[in-house]
């Protein structure tokens, strides 16, 4: 899609709120300096956010030789946002205030075999009900619920087009959720959720071009390009997990051979370990989480099998990340999701070395490679951020419908 002036307007609204959340209290002048927007534009956008009670006036500061400047801050209690991370084996839900502090959490385990949409939906509904009850807030204050589901998603229609783990095809997930959940719902996938979390609150904040590499059971790359999320023409950009790294190589669960995911996803890593040492005590054949945890512990203690298994994995991962560096020439590559979090800095150090060998020297020199700095579940945070973006976008739509400028309390935006 080409970016229209309305897209730019929405992006500017995001940018101003992002900045206020990061640096409350702050003045319009500071916001203009930090965002590069004109003071008039900032004043308009701040007016909209005040109208929405997402931010509040919190006093004045002296400015050298001028009038005192009004200060604004995020109104943490001005609303609540819910993020839902639907994964293969669990549903994790967090409720946030508007400063994106976690107020409540709920988890539901999914048993093997529980793969029907209705089963997943009832877990989500239970967990959403739980966080609202725990937080003790009125339903009216929930601005929205962002839902992340693996696979390919049509956000406009709320359909899970394809979820490889459950073999879902064209499941109308948002319609099913609407029967149980009364709040505005926003559907997307974990790649985009973790990318938007980095863009708003993590290592991609203030960056133009960033790649968020998700290393979990599934593998993919969330793309921040030109300061915004790159979705592609049908919202499926970033399927790096199914790019070819070894032509005619290992069979991948997508049915192709030699995909990145077949070597560096959790089950790919287990296979690397099994090929290296079939009887290793690190290997928990039916339990990805336990195996990755054992490898992480082995890395810390210098267990030679763990070190070698990770090195074998990084041979593929380094080449795959180098491909992203060569293609996108990003400012930063962020390693995210649970496998990256579990293996931590030792993994990142190995990846940096391997990317140095595989990438072209100049784009490599221009790229940082870091672990996600987000302390909570980035997918939940990102899903909640989609709900926040949805709430901010609906402002724009309301404003666009106002035909008489007199109803608008602020000047027209530049």
CB atoms within 10 A of CB 214: 31
102 makes contact with Zn ion (CB under 5 A): no
Q: What is the binding site for a copy of itself (CB under 8 A)?
A: 1-5, 8, 36-38, 152, 161-162, 207-209, 221, 223, 225-228, 230-240, 242-247, 249, 254, 256, 315-316, 319-320, 322-323, 326-331, 358, 360-363, 365-367, 414
Least distance from C-beta 341 to Zn ion, angstroms? 23
Q: What is the largest CA-CA distance in the chain?
A: 75
Q: Binding residues for Zn ion, how many (CB under 5 A)?
A: 5
Q: Nearer to a copy of itself by C-beta: 311 or 358? A: 358
Least distance from C-beta 192 to a copy of itself, angstroms? 12
Least distance from C-beta 211 to Zn ion, angstroms? 18
- Considering only 18, 92, 242, 352, the residue that binds Zn ion (CB under 5 A) is 242
**Contact predicate 60/71, CB 8 Å:** yes
| CA geometry: angle 98, 99, 100, nearest 5 deg | 85
222 DSSP β-pair partners = 212
- Sign of the CA dihedral 247, 160, 339, 274? negative
Of 85, 91, 347, give the one whose Cα is nearest residue 213.
Answer: 347
Cα–Cα distances in angstroms (integers) from residue 270 to residues 74, 121, 213, 309, 390, in the given order: 45, 30, 19, 9, 39
Residue 85 interacts, among a copy of itself, Zn ion, none and using kind-specific CB cut-offs from 5 to 8 Å, with none
Least distance from C-beta 218 to Zn ion, angstroms? 10
Cα–Cα distances in angstroms (integers) from residue 71 to residues 9, 100, 318, 373, 390, in the given order: 22, 20, 46, 28, 26
Stretch 253-282 residues interacting with Zn ion (CB under 5 A) = 254, 256, 259
Q: Nearer to a copy of itself by C-beta: 323 or 377? A: 323
**Contact predicate 196/386, CB 8 Å:** yes
Torsion angles phi and psi, residue 116, rounded to 5:
-75, 140
Stretch that binds Zn ion, among 238-246, 308-316, 337-345, 385-393 (CB under 5 A): 238-246
Q: Nearer to a copy of itself by C-beta: 4 or 301? A: 4
Residue 252 interacts, among Zn ion, a copy of itself, none and using kind-specific CB cut-offs from 5 to 8 Å, with Zn ion
Q: Nearer to a copy of itself by C-beta: 150 or 330? A: 330
Question: Regarding beta strands 219-225 and 210-215, do their DSSP bridges make them parallel or antiparallel, or are they unpaired?
Answer: antiparallel
Least distance from C-beta 277 to a copy of itself, angstroms? 21
Least distance from C-beta 167 to Zn ion, angstroms? 15
- Sign of the CA dihedral 260, 266, 271, 272? positive
Q: Nearer to a copy of itself by C-beta: 122 or 244? A: 244
Q: Nearer to a copy of itself by C-beta: 145 or 322? A: 322
209 CB-near residues (< 8 Å, 6+ apart): 224, 225, 226, 328, 329, 330, 331
Burial class (CB in 10 A: 0-12, 13-18, 19+), 152: middle
Residue 316 interacts, among Zn ion, a copy of itself, none and using kind-specific CB cut-offs from 5 to 8 Å, with a copy of itself
Least distance from C-beta 252 to Zn ion, angstroms? 3
Least distance from C-beta 246 to Zn ion, angstroms? 11
Contact residues: Zn ion, CB under 5 A: 242, 252, 254, 256, 259
């Amino acid at each position: 899609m080409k970016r229209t002036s309305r897209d730019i307007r929405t992006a500017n609204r995001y940018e101003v709120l992002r900045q206020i959340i990061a640096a409350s209290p702050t003045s319009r002048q500071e916001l203009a300096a930090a965002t590069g927007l004109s003071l008039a534009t900032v004043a308009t956008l701040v007016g909209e956010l005040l109208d929405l009670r997402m931010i509040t006036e919190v006093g004045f500061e002296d400015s050298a030789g001028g009038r005192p400047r009004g200060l604004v801050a995020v109104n943490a209690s001005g609303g609540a946002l819910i993020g839902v991370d639907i994964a293969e084996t669990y549903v994790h839900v967090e409720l946030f205030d508007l400063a994106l502090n976690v107020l409540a959490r709920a988890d539901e385990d999914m048993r093997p075999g529980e793969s029907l949409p209705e089963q997943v939906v009832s877990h989500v509904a239970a967990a959403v009900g739980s966080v609202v009850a725990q937080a003790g807030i009125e339903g009216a204050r929930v601005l929205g619920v962002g839902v992340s589901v693996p696979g390919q998603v049509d956000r406009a229609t709320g359909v899970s087009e394809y979820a490889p783990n459950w073999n879902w095809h064209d499941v109308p997930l948002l319609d099913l959720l609407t029967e149980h959940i009364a709040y505005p719902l926003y559907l997307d996938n974990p790649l985009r959720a973790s990318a938007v979390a980095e863009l708003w609150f993590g290592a991609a904040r203030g960056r133009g071009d960033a790649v968020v590499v998700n290393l979990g059971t599934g593998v993919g790359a969330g793309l921040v390009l030109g300061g915004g999320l790159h979705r592609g023409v049908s919202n499926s950009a970033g399927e790096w997990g199914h790019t070819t790294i070894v032509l005619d190589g290992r069979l991948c669960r997508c049915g192709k051979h030699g995909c990145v995911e077949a070597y560096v996803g959790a089950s790919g890593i287990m296979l690397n370990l099994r090929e290296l040492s079939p009887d290793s005590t690190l290997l928990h054949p039916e339990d990805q989480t336990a195996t990755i945890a054992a490898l992480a512990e082995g890395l810390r203690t210098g267990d030679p099998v763990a070190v070698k298994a990770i090195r074998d994995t990084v041979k593929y991962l380094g080449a795959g990340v180098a491909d992203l560096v060569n293609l996108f020439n990003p400012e930063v590559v962020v390693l995210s999701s649970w496998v990256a979090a579990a293996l931590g800095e030792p993994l990142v150090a190995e990846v940096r070395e391997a990317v140095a060998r595989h990438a072209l020297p100049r784009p490599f020199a221009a790229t940082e490679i870091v672990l996600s700095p987000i302390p909570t579940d980035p997918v939940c945070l990102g899903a909640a951020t989609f709900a926040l973006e949805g709430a901010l976008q609906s402002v724009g739509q309301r404003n666009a419908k106002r035909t008489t400028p007199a109803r608008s309390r602020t000047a027209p935006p530049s």
